[in-house]
Chains A and B, each alone.
Chain A
Amino acid sequence: MSARRWAVALGLLALALPFVLEGNRFLAFVYSIVMIHLIWANGMNLLYGYVGLMPLMFAGVAGVAAYAMIYLTRSHEWSFWLAAPMASLGASLFGVLLGLPSLRLTGFYFTLCSLVIQTVITLAFVFFPTFTNGDTGINQIAPPQAPWGGALSGVWMDETLAIVAVLSVLLCGWIVSTRLGKRFMAIREDDVLAEVLGIDVVRDRIIAFFIVSMFASIGGCLFAVTIGFISPRSFDVLTSLNIWLFVAFGGRGTLIGPIIGTIVLAPIPYLLQELQGFKDVLSGVLIIVVTLLMPGGVWGELLRWRDRRRARRALAVGQT
């Protein structure tokens, strides 16, 4: 099958699975979690894989959107379908603001800066409880309204998440294929060279931060209504690091990589409910393994292995 057919089959499978899993609430729940993280991983991949910046404040932006959405639905009685896009828009503008340091800093200094920003956001969530209810968190978040009245829940909620996740993959693929995507990759490879070639690096980075924050925000809003409970810990630096790990483990800068990483890694915390400490150890080990042994991620290493084999075979053919 061609790559396009594979993609269509995968997309249809993702859309069909909620109905298959309808009978088992636990599996359906894990599935919905995977779908939300898939949206996040796609956003993270755009910035980390294609623009080449590692934003550790990713989860903070998602948190800002989630809290804003809850504020709008609770205090102003907006519908979720209006509140979520507005909150996401606001949080994305905020995300652009947080991305401004990238205009001066790259590499380690940008990552450190984003870590500081994330820590400040988490502290702000805890110490300004007017909107966030502090460490206690906000519970009983109402699910979105269904178009046919009542609350959207169960299989249709899962289906909504699957649709948004599939759309996020499609959007990511489309962006990468446009001229903007090519410019992102040029900036990733060498931002000075890109500038010399006439690419407006500043403008493109700002655009990237806007798009990526949009992914983070929409994921954050959906996360809040799916789980029904959020606290500052839902959006702390470990969340950012986890999403980064999904991308790096699967393969940065590829479309399929983050999907692999999310499907493999996102369910783990929910399967290890009792062993939270063990989960931390496991993801720490994975982070180290990815950095030291497979910088290209699972998919990247697979591609490299295939290329090497092809090269060897071509060499063998040439010799006979």
Chain B
Amino acid sequence: MSDATLLVVASTLSTGLILGAIFALVAAGVTIVYGCVWLPNASNGQFFLLAALAAWSLTGAGLGSAAAIIMVLLLGLVLSLGLEWLLVRRLYDVPNRNVACFVLTLGLTQIMAGIFSMTWGRWSDQYTLPPLVSGITMIGPFPMTNNRILVLLIALVVLAASFALLRYHRYGRALRAVFQNREAAALRGVDVRAVYRMSFLLGSSIIFLGGLLFALAYSFDLTVAWTMSVTAFAIMIVGGPGSVLGALVVGMVFGFTQAIVSIFASPTAATFSYLLAMLAMLLFKPTGLFLR
């Protein structure tokens, strides 16, 4: 292979890894909430974008990237607590609530999209964050910015942590118990509503973190919200609702797909393929590829 081809392969690999890790992160956030609360969060893309935009504003106001990230995560926590208290908890006891929740979050999507177009949409149309760390590491002959390596590492660590949390921690076991049988879990002393609240907070925070990492690694615009929403749903459905492992594997596959497709065609072609994969999955195996 010539040097130029090698370079393309290497950049595709790194893009695929980073995109895949971020996709997997956001999809994990969606899948944890859906798996537990039956709340299909259609506004995940807007959450994702909100985190990125807020970080952009904070760094624009002179804050360092790391401080901005922590601020945004705290802000996201407050926001999701508020949303849970105001809206989501009202649906906890509704039977067959996933349609109602879906519609509710579609409404939320519209509200946030409207707000973004009235505010950030007027201030700029392309956004970039200053990198978290500077410098370049050579991996073999290929340069990669330390910033992107760090982004990748954070994403993988958080994914691993949430996987471990759901598998081994008391909270994760309670969450899966509620998922399997709410009444039985309640009888065994699990505080169902607290578990619901916790998983909504956890899922939203992971989505916020995904938005931050994406903003650190790439420049973005307002259209990323809808693409991310659709992609996260596709990953969740294909990987199996409620499965963090499924989100990781399928997220990586989709990330690499997007990186490879982007060499030859527009990234929208990749979105097309996710949608078709999701459609096929919905029709033939709605439980997804992975068990939770």
Which residues of A are at the interface with B, using a C-beta cutoff of 8 A?
A: 54, 101, 104-105, 107-109, 111-113, 116-117, 119-120, 123, 126-127, 238, 241, 276-288, 291-292, 295
Contacts and interface: CB of A to CB of B under 8 A. Distances in A.
A277 B114 contact: yes
A287 B286 contact: no
Interface in B219-274: 230, 233-234, 237, 268, 271-272
B27 to A, nearest CB: 14
B278 A284 contact: no
Given A279-B114, A280-B113, A116 B278 contact: yes
Nearest to A124: B272
Given A276-B114, A284-B113, A295-B100, 13 more contacts: A54-B103, A105-B286, A107-B99, A111-B102, A113-B279, A123-B275, A241-B110, A280-B114, A281-B110, A281-B111, A283-B107, A284-B109, A284-B114
Nearest to B42: A115
B110 A107 contact: no
B287 to A, nearest CB: 11
B268 A285 contact: no
24 contacts: A105-B282, A108-B98, A111-B99, A112-B102, A112-B282, A116-B234, A116-B275, A116-B282, A120-B275, A120-B279, A238-B110, A278-B114, A280-B117, A281-B111, A284-B107, A284-B108, A284-B109, A284-B113, A285-B107, A285-B111, A286-B107, A288-B104, A291-B104, A292-B104
B98 A107 contact: yes
Contacts of B237: 112
Contact of A277 (B99, B115, B275): B115
Interface residues of B, number: 38
Nearest to A238: B110
A197 B107 CA distance: 37
A108 B102 contact: yes
Contacts of A109: 282, 286
A120 B87 contact: no
Contacts of A116: 230, 233-234, 275, 278-279, 282
Interface in B100-145: 100, 102-104, 106-115, 117-118, 121
Nearest to B91: A292
Contacts of A120: 272, 275-276, 279
A104 B99 CA distance: 16
B40 A112 contact: yes
Contacts of B99: 54, 107-108, 111
Contacts of B271: 123
B181 interface: no
B283 A287 contact: no
Nearest to A275: B118
Contact of B110 (A111, A123, A280, A295): A280
B291 to A, nearest CB: 18
B90 interface: yes
Interface in B76-104: 87, 90-91, 96, 98-100, 102-104
A117 B230 CA distance: 11
Nearest to B230: A119
A41 B118 CA distance: 29
A12 B82 CA distance: 49
Contacts of B283: 101, 104-105, 113
B39 to A, nearest CB: 10
Contact of B103 (A113, A279, A287): A287
A96 to B, nearest CB: 16
Interface centre among B106, B115, B271 (most CB of A within 10 A): B106
A285 B87 CA distance: 11
B90 A281 contact: no
Contacts of B113: 280, 284
Nearest to B118: A277
Contact of A123 (B109, B268, B286): B268
B103 A291 contact: yes
Contacts of A107: 96, 98-99
B34 to A, nearest CB: 9
Nearest to A100: B283
B98 A276 contact: no
Given A277-B115, A278-B114, A241 B106 contact: yes
Contact of A283 (B91, B110, B233): B110
